[in-house]
Amino acid sequence: MVVGGGTAGWMCAAALSAAVPRTCEIVLIESEDIGTIGVGEATVPAIRFFNDQIGLDEAEMIRACEATFKLGIDFRGWGHKDNRYFHGFGDFGDHHEGISGYQIWRRLRDLGDDTPLDAYSLPTQMAYAGRFFPPNPDPRSPMHNYRYAFHFDASLYAAHLRKHCEARGVKRINARIGEVRLRPEDGFIDGVVLDDGRLETADFFIDCSGFRGLLIEGALKTGYTDWSHWLPVDRAWAVPTERTGSILPYTISQAHESGWQWRIPLQHRTGNGYVYSSRFVDDDAARDILTRNLDAPTLKDPFQVRFTTGHRNRFWSKNCVCVGLASGFIEPLESTSINFIQNVIVRFLEFYPTLNHAPVVEDQFNSLILSEYERVRDFIILHYRLNSRTDGELWRYCADMAIPDDLAARIALFRYGGRTIEHERDSFKSPSWISIFHGQGVVPQTYDHLADRIDADALKALAAKRRREIADIVPRLPAHDQFIAAHCASPAFLKRQPA
């Protein structure tokens, strides 16, 4: 049984309906009265794999969810007030004889070449030119070395998944759960009591009930680990605005004095929000910052969301696994939350339970999920830690705070020789870490000396070739709007297009 019908609940139901034995009945309970959180509209490229695995047609999904393409995030004011850099979904050129494009760039810098690193990132150049085209799967193509994600309307994505799930036999119950009943003999969940008094039982429960964690916390009392000393933002104001101008193929993250503002372009509107720390700014002032920094009229009043960054102490407890906001939350700076839903589902299927509970399975699952959560946490802390802004208490606090040992070691390693550490399941690989380090001003003392293997003139020629390819390709690609209009426009998009 899946409890909750937000993005997490419907993603779980969709994945289960595609993967578990057909004899397993999947029931999802959600309450339309309670509703969903109403934010969560930017994704990372792995979402394409998820959609593909559950059998969604991409163009159909884009049309149904008013989605647009996302090539990365444009960070403005991060590091220092006038700074701007791009975290693109791609590498800085191909590897040559095992040497990464970044290390080639770093060595060329020692040889007196001051070409900006961004010149080697195709998604960055496409994004800044407002253009979009999908990568070419052929690794010999200069168009292959990048990926893309989506911005979508979260409620439409859940509705799209619901339609998909119901067509595959998932049973949906619209009701409020008033009580979670435990088995007296072992404390496992027996069932949930609905507001009309009905008892719904199941063998296994997936808690997707949002921040309240109805089962995992409300009934099983697993406890919560608070990480807000490392990530102090804890509230957001969110507001949609009218669509304006051409649609950018990227998210904007604009840092302000006490937090940062997102701008997520969709086909029919733009999503905006200001994420801030209540320790450093009050709610009214934060709302004011958001409304003063919008580029179009609002479509409704701003609404507030509160959260505590951290995670449940157990992601799997007895016959319950928590997914989505029920499992914890790391603020939305790199759109990691929906990606984490996907990662937890994949792990759950790898550890798919039997009716005989095996604590070893539960423990192993918990330890793997926790280490994945911690690595995402460290990636987000990195953005705050590498800053020299002095105009807000938030930034001064973050520049000085103690950070996790693993992250401190990663920063030291990069500062020395531009090296990064990758784990198999990392959501953010080396090019992402490099984008943040580089974008926020860290230039390693030295480069990987394996790069000396390639003759300096050959390196210069390789780099020049890559720059020429990008300069040739980008102006010939369609504008993002044109690509949407030709392949996956929603009726709302077409209505607004100039004739």
Ligand X SMILES: Cc1cc2nc3c(=O)[nH]c(=O)nc-3n(C[C@H](O)[C@H](O)[C@H](O)COP(=O)(O)OP(=O)(O)OC[C@H]3O[C@@H](n4cnc5c(N)ncnc54)[C@H](O)[C@@H]3O)c2cc1C
Segment near ligand X (CB under 6 A), from 38-46, 374-382, 394-402, 427-435?
A: 38-46
Residue from the set 95, 163, 171, 176 that interacts with ligand X by CB under 6 A: 176
Cα distance between residue 425 and residue 12, in whole Å: 19
Contact 126, 132 (CB under 8 A): yes
Which among 390, 25, 21, 58 is positioned nearest to 172, based on CA atoms? Answer: 25
Cα distance between residue 463 and residue 103, in whole Å: 11
**Is residue 322 at the binding interface for ligand X, with CB under 6 A as the rule?**
no
Residue from the set 79, 232, 273, 431 that interacts with ligand X by CB under 6 A: 273
**Is residue 37 at the binding interface for ligand X, with CB under 6 A as the rule?**
yes
Radius of gyration of the chain (CA): 23
Ranges of H-type helices in 215-276? none
186: exposed, middle or buried (C-beta count within 10 Å: 0-12, 13-18, 19+)?
exposed
Q: Which of residues 480-499 bind ligand X (CB under 6 A)?
A: none
**Residue-by-residue DSSP string for 85-109:** EEEESB-SS--BTTB-HHHHHHHHH
**Is residue 212 at the binding interface for ligand X, with CB under 6 A as the rule?**
yes
Residue from the set 31, 121, 366, 420 that interacts with ligand X by CB under 6 A: 31
Segment near ligand X (CB under 6 A), from 162-170, 203-211, 286-294, 433-441?
A: 203-211
**Is residue 4 at the binding interface for ligand X, with CB under 6 A as the rule?**
yes
Total binding residues for ligand X by CB under 6 A?
A: 38
**Is residue 177 at the binding interface for ligand X, with CB under 6 A as the rule?**
yes
Which among 223, 188, 187, 211 is positioned nearest to 1, based on CA atoms? Answer: 188
Shortest separation between residue 341's beta carbon and ligand X, angstroms = 6
Cα distance between residue 248 and residue 264, in whole Å: 9
Shortest separation between residue 300's beta carbon and ligand X, angstroms = 16
**What spatial distance separates the first Cα and last Cα of the chain, rounded to whole Å?**
49
**Is residue 209 at the binding interface for ligand X, with CB under 6 A as the rule?**
yes
Interaction pattern, residues 45-84, with ligand X; x per rule: CB under 6 A = ----------------------------------------
Residue from the set 325, 386, 434, 463 that interacts with ligand X by CB under 6 A: 325
**Is residue 208 at the binding interface for ligand X, with CB under 6 A as the rule?**
yes
Q: Which residue has the tokens 């870490």?
A: 433
Shortest separation between residue 417's beta carbon and ligand X, angstroms = 33
Q: Which of residues 153-172 bind ligand X (CB under 6 A)?
A: 154
Shortest separation between residue 69's beta carbon and ligand X, angstroms = 15
Residue 25 has phi, psi (to 5 degrees) of -85, 135
Residue from the set 2, 7, 78, 427 that interacts with ligand X by CB under 6 A: 7
**Residue-by-residue DSSP string for 103-138:** HHHHHHHHTT----GGGG-HHHHHHHTTB--PPPS-
Cα distance between residue 87 and residue 493, in whole Å: 27
**Is residue 216 at the binding interface for ligand X, with CB under 6 A as the rule?**
no
Q: Which of residues 222-251 bind ligand X (CB under 6 A)?
A: 236, 238
Q: Is 70 a catalytic residue?
A: yes
The residues of the shown chain that bind ligand X, judged by CB under 6 A, are: 4-9, 29-31, 34-37, 39-43, 154, 176-177, 208-210, 212, 214, 236, 238, 273, 305, 307, 324-326, 332, 335, 337-338
Which sequence positions are flagged as catalytic? 70
